């Protein structure tokens, strides 16, 4: 008798959250380690999740008039140096090519950490008139940032992302684009990934290198830490001036266009894992799950079971659901554990007694609930059940966010709350950098965002007691 395969166990998140995360990444077959530190292999199942997110985002970008382009991987050092703040912000993370073939290059080439300078150089050649604007571009690519500490999805040296870059005739148009794209990211997170977000403005200290404003969506993970899940940047005309991008306006005057950029990366898959996963493994929102339903025959050696399960699988596929059937000789226990590990939203079981009764059993991954479904109603019921799983995941994540967001009126209280509970801490803030630095040094929290939805919690800054200007979120972040 063949030795039965075993589903590998994962570390409980309550014991070691970091090890739990790594276990899920590898044992749910999302990634593998390569021979280069921080450069991970995304396995087919992990890549399929990214493809589904990519398809959703790409459709939204194209709906709004954006076009996909492809820029070079290499940036000449002289080009990168044109925008001072930008190059200083990325200098510690740049990797350089200095030799081509057997010859030393006359100029170092940076492997792109981001592509603003490449887009600007291109636009300086092709933009001449207001009729050329807006330029609404997006690029799907990988970037390289030489991180010292690396983890799958969350902080890799090379990672996949999309980077949108747009050019506009007016500041009003550019700012509207920046905020619109942030809302696109929020839409994807909340309505497809079941991840509630806080929308807001980054402080000057935390904004993107070279930007006038950086907007962010912040999510809360299981361990009460924050994950920056998508950002959108308004650059003003700073890059345009440095790269000599001008256009003739309708009034026949030479002007500098206004620029934006915005991005979401495979880091968001790490966010999905840490928002929804449990001690049995991955839990995937149905709208981005590569397999939405897996059909598992019970006692498939008995007459008619395999045939009936195959017919059920085909009916589910015909209903437009991403489905799989497991007819392998692995045990029922192994199959259940395996598909729980991989986070499949619904498992449909069909055995001899079910066939006799004209039903199958649907098991929800999010809460383990078992629902008897009539075979003739399967095409109608499964989409409803998938929607219920999607909504259940969102509501659970929203409770985690709401129940672990606290108000503090002093730095000491903020520190105490963070040490005791984790989560987001809301305070009033005077806007001074020193108070932001003090919160980091004394309470271990960075500013997450100045939320668009403001609340008046106090009249004075929690850090220094001076008159407050705004409400701000603090937290420990990945």
DSSP state of 15: T
- Which residues contact residue 21 at a Cβ distance below 8 angstroms, ignoring those fewer than 6 apart? 13, 151, 152, 270, 273, 274, 277
Q: Tens of pLDDT along 236-260?
A: 999 999 999 999 999 999 999 999 9
Region of 232 (left: φ > 0; alpha: ψ -120 to 50; beta: rest) is: beta
Tokens of 168: 């506009």
Assigned CATH for 405-475:
3.30.110.30
With beta carbons less than 8 A apart as the criterion, state whether 341 and 282 touch: yes
pLDDT at site 85: 76
Tokens of 182: 């942030």
Q: Tens of pLDDT along 356-405?
A: 999 999 999 999 999 999 999 998 999 999 999 999 999 999 999 999 99
- Which residues contact residue 471 at a Cβ distance below 8 angstroms, ignoring those fewer than 6 apart? 426, 427, 428, 429, 450, 451, 454, 455, 456, 457
Identify the segments of the chain with pLDDT beneath 50.
1-4
Distance separating alpha carbons of residues 345 and 294, to the nearest angstrom: 9
pTM here is 0.94
Rg (CA), the chain: 25
pLDDT at site 334: 94
Distance separating alpha carbons of residues 447 and 432, to the nearest angstrom: 12
Nearest Cα neighbor of 216 from 195, 199, 196, 193 is 199
pLDDT at site 89: 77
pLDDT at site 3: 42
Q: Where are the alpha helices (DSSP H) in 347-449?
A: 352-357, 378-403, 411-421, 433-443
Beta bridge partners of 160: 142
Residue 279 CA to chain centroid, in angstroms? 21
* Domain spans, the chain: 17-276, 293-388, 405-475
Element (H, E) at 169: none
User: For 17-276, which CATH superfamily applies?
Assistant: Bira Bifunctional Protein; Domain 2 (3.30.930.10)
With beta carbons less than 8 A apart as the criterion, state whether 138 and 61 touch: yes
CATH fold label, 293-388: Rossmann fold (3.40.50)
pLDDT at site 1: 33
């Amino acid at each position: 008798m063949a030795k039965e395969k075993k589903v590998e166990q994962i570390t409980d998140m309550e014991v070691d959250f970091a090890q739990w995360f790594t276990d899920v990444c590898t044992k749910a077959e999302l990634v593998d380690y390569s021979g280069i530190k921080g450069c991970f292999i995304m396995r087919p199942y992990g890549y399929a999740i990214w493809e589904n997110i990519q398809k959703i985002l790409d459709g939204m970008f194209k709906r709004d008039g954006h076009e996909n382009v492809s820029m070079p991987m290499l940036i000449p050092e002289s080009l990168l140096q044109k925008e001072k703040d930008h190059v200083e912000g990325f200098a510690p993370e740049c990797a350089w090519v200095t030799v081509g073939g057997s010859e030393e290059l006359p100029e170092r080439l940076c492997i792109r950490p981001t592509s603003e300078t490449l887009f600007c150089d291109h636009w300086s050649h092709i933009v001449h008139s207001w009729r050329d604007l807006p330029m609404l571009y997006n690029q799907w690519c990988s970037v390289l940032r030489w991180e010292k500490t690396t983890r799958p999805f969350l902080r890799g040296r090379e990672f996949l992302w999309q980077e949108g870059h747009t050019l506009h005739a007016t500041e009003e148009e550019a700012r509207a684009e920046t905020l619109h794209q942030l809302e696109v990211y929020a839409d994807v997170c909340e309505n497809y990934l079941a991840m509630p977000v806080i929308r807001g403005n980054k402080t000057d200290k935390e904004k993107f290198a070279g930007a006038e404003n950086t907007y962010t969506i912040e999510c809360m993970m299981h361990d009460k830490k924050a994950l920056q899940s998508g950002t959108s940047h308004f650059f003003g005309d700073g890059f345009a001036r440095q790269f000599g991008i001008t256009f003739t306006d309708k009034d026949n005057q030479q002007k500098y266009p206004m620029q934006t950029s915005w991005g979401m990366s495979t880091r968001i898959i790490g966010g999905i894992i840490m928002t929804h996963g449990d001690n049995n493994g991955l839990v995937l929102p149905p709208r981005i799950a590569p397999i939405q339903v897996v059909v598992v025959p019970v006692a498939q050696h008995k007459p008619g079971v395999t045939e009936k399960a195959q017919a059920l699988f085909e009916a589910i596929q015909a209903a437009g659901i991403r489905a799989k059937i497991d007819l392998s000789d692995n045990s029922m226990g192994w199959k259940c554990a395996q598909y729980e590990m991989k986070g499949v939203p619904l498992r449909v079981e069909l055995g001899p007694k079910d066939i006799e009764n004209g039903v199958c059993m649907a098991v929800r991954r999010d809460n383990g609930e078992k629902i008897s479904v009539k075979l003739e109603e399967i095409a109608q019921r499964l989409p409803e059940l998938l929607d219920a799983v999607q909504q259940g995941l969102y509501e659970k994540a929203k409770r985690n966010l709401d129940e672990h967001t606290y108000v503090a009126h002093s730095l000491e209280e903020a520190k105490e709350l963070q040490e005791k509970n984790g989560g987001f801490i809301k305070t009033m803030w005077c806007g001074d950098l020193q108070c932001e630095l003090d919160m980091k040094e004394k309470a271990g929290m960075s500013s997450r965002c100045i939320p668009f939805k403001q609340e008046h919690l106090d009249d004075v800054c929690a850090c220094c007691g001076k008159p407050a200007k705004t409400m701000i979120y603090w937290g420990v972040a990945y």
